Amino acid sequence: MSPPRPPRLVENDLAAEYANDMKQALEERHPEIVYLNIYNVSSVNTYLEFLGFGFYHTAIELYNHEFSYGGHDYELSGIVVVEAGNSAGLTLKERLPVGVTYYNEYEIDEIVRDFGKFWLGQDYDPFEHNCNCFTKRFLSHIVDKEAYYYPEYVNRFGKLGSLLRMWFKPLQALVGDIVSYEKEAENQEAVPYEPIKHD
């Protein structure tokens, strides 16, 4: 005779208890809207947008800060955090609400610290490991993957990387620096990530 099977009721009770606990935990948290800030980084976008792509910089706006990624020559995090609205002179194209997160500010700090171990400044690549790759990955981590929106046109330039890589340097020589800043912000510099100071 085979041993008796455990009653399914126990499994169902545990699942229901877990679901109730999770529901209660979420109800105790305050949802925060996550924004994707899309910046034009070159005047040539005026023409390239007719072709369906352009040169864009993106940042995740959350808790009055913007999180983005950039390159440098050191084996340190390339994640940059600034106060929301400090665009270093770039022209804001769109500010899109792209999802909701239940992580609080302290947890976001920890997530960014962990991301910084993998998003090093020296690993930056304008086609395959850029700011747009970072914001999409960061967004998918802090928002339910089934409940966020990311516009595909933002990183089409990167997806054309293998082709554009051959022409990137000649294009720079032809049209100048790809990234153009407003004159009044030329002296502004982005700094590597530092934890948000909480009151």
Residues 12-45 have pLDDT tens digits of: 666 676 666 666 666 678 899 999 999 998 888 8
When comparing pLDDT for 95 and 172, which is higher? 95
Between CA 127 and CA 83 the distance in angstroms is 26
Longest dimension (CA), the chain: 85
Range among 9-23, 46-60, 77-91 with highest mean pLDDT value: 77-91
Closest among 132, 1, 125 to 55, alpha carbons compared = 132
pLDDT (tens digit, 9 = 90+) per residue, 168-184?
656 555 545 444 444 44
pLDDT in tens, 118-171: 999 999 988 889 999 999 999 999 997 677 889 988 988 776 665 666 666 565
Q: What is the CATH number of domain 41-185?
A: 3.90.1720.30
Tokens of residue 199, six digits: 């009151």
Extents of the domains making up the chain: 41-185
